[in-house]
């Protein structure tokens, strides 16, 4: 409640104090939460090493969120030597408990063939489990698998359904991809107006590719009134970022 400022003035320091008291009594949830505070430097000096220690204590008690978070630390090599194999093992433990974040993360490991044999089919199965729990990133990635026909029969219609579910939760990559489906008329009737709508939502969230595409729509008067000024504005925002996303874009 202190961390979120619910019913009390928000205070990371008070949150840390209380998480620590519970963590010292062996409460796994508090150990995991305190690990997060160290990971992000909220109410304490940032320390990946302290975060790892706390995640490990909770993970050893079978706490799924901590297993997943510890897997992430191994995946990134933060506070521990980098190890995809360790990450996979920890993600799997949490995924088997139905933890959607771990199911998604393990799915990405299978899709990329990192720490485990590459398998689109395994990736799809895991993305689907997380997607069915409403996890937006998994819905977006599963949509991409359907659009590309990776591990599933190719289906633009299924891709659109999944992109829409994630997009309506505010996932920028899914918003962009849904815009692209309308732009190309894939799985939906072609509509410049709908394309602009979804590109715009993703662009407002800072997605470089969406900003660039929205600029192009304004430059060419596609789905909006032609405007060189608006085009320049969005091209400029994209140019300032100057980096490619690692997420799945159509």
- 60-109 tens-digit pLDDT: 999 999 999 999 999 999 999 999 999 999 999 999 999 999 999 999 99
Residue 249 pLDDT more than 70?
no
Residue 229 contacts residue 235 (beta carbons within 8 Å): no
Instruction: Place 195 in a pLDDT band, splitting at 50, 70 and 90.
Output: very high
Residue 244 pLDDT more than 50?
no
Residue 21 contacts residue 33 (beta carbons within 8 Å): no
Whether 114 maps to a domain, the answer reads: no
Higher pLDDT, 248 or 195: 195
Residues whose CB falls within 8 Å of the CB of residue 133, separated by 6 or more in sequence, listed in order = 98, 100, 103
The pLDDT score that the predictor gives to residue 6 is 98
Whether 217 maps to a domain, the answer reads: no
Instruction: Place 243 in a pLDDT band, splitting at 50, 70 and 90.
Output: low
Per residue in 100-121, pLDDT (tens digit) is 999 999 999 999 999 999 999 9
The pLDDT score that the predictor gives to residue 128 is 98
* Residue 236 burial by Cβ neighbours in a 10 Å radius (0-12, 13-18, 19+): exposed
Instruction: Place 246 in a pLDDT band, splitting at 50, 70 and 90.
Output: very low
CA distance linking residue 85 with residue 79, whole number of Å: 16
Whether 95 maps to a domain, the answer reads: no
Per residue in 199-211, pLDDT (tens digit) is 999 999 999 999 9
Percent of the chain clearing pLDDT 70 (strictly above): 97
Residue 245 pLDDT more than 60?
no
CATH code, 41: 1.25.40.10
Please give the tally of structural domains in the chain: 1
Per residue in 27-39, pLDDT (tens digit) is 999 999 999 999 9
Span 127-148, average pLDDT: 98
The per-residue pLDDT of the chain, averaged, comes to 96
Span 135-154, average pLDDT: 98
Instruction: Place 225 in a pLDDT band, splitting at 50, 70 and 90.
Output: very high
Whether 42 maps to a domain, the answer reads: yes
What's the whole-model pTM score? 0.91
Say which range, 58-62, 196-200, 220-224, 236-240, has the weakest mean pLDDT.
236-240
Residue 242 contacts residue 206 (beta carbons within 8 Å): no
Span 177-186, average pLDDT: 98
The pLDDT score that the predictor gives to residue 242 is 74
**Structural domain for 2, as ranges:** 1-61
Whether 3 maps to a domain, the answer reads: yes
Whether 47 maps to a domain, the answer reads: yes
CA distance linking residue 250 with residue 173, whole number of Å: 9
Whether 126 maps to a domain, the answer reads: no
Residue 248 pLDDT more than 80?
no
């Amino acid at each position: 409640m202190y961390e979120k400022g619910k019913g009390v003035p928000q205070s990371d320091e008070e949150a840390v104090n209380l998480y620590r008291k519970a963590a010292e009594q062996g409460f796994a949830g508090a150990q995991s939460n305190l690990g997060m505070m160290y990971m992000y430097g909220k109410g304490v000096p940032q320390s990946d090493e302290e975060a790892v220690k706390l995640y490990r204590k909770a993970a050893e008690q079978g706490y799924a969120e901590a297993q997943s978070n510890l897997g992430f630390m191994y995946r990134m090599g933060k506070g521990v030597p980098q190890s995809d194999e360790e990450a996979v093992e920890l993600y799997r433990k949490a995924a088997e408990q139905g933890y959607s974040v771990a199911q998604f993360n393990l799915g990405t490991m299978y899709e990329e063939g990192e720490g485990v044999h590459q398998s689109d089919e395994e990736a799809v199965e895991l993305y689907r489990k997380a997607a069915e729990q409403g996890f937006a990133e998994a819905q977006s990635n599963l949509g991409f698998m359907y659009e590309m026909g990776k591990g599933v029969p190719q289906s633009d219609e299924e891709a659109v359904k999944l992109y829409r579910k994630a997009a309506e939760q505010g996932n920028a990559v899914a918003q962009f991809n849904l815009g692209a489906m309308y732009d190309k008329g894939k799985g939906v009737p072609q509509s410049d107006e709908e394309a602009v709508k979804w590109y715009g939502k993703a662009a407002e969230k800072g997605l470089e590719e969406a900003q660039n595409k929205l600029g192009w729509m304004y430059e060419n008067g596609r789905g909006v009134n032609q405007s060189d000024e608006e085009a320049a504005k969005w091209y400029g925002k994209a140019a300032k970022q100057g980096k490619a996303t690692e997420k799945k874009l159509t």
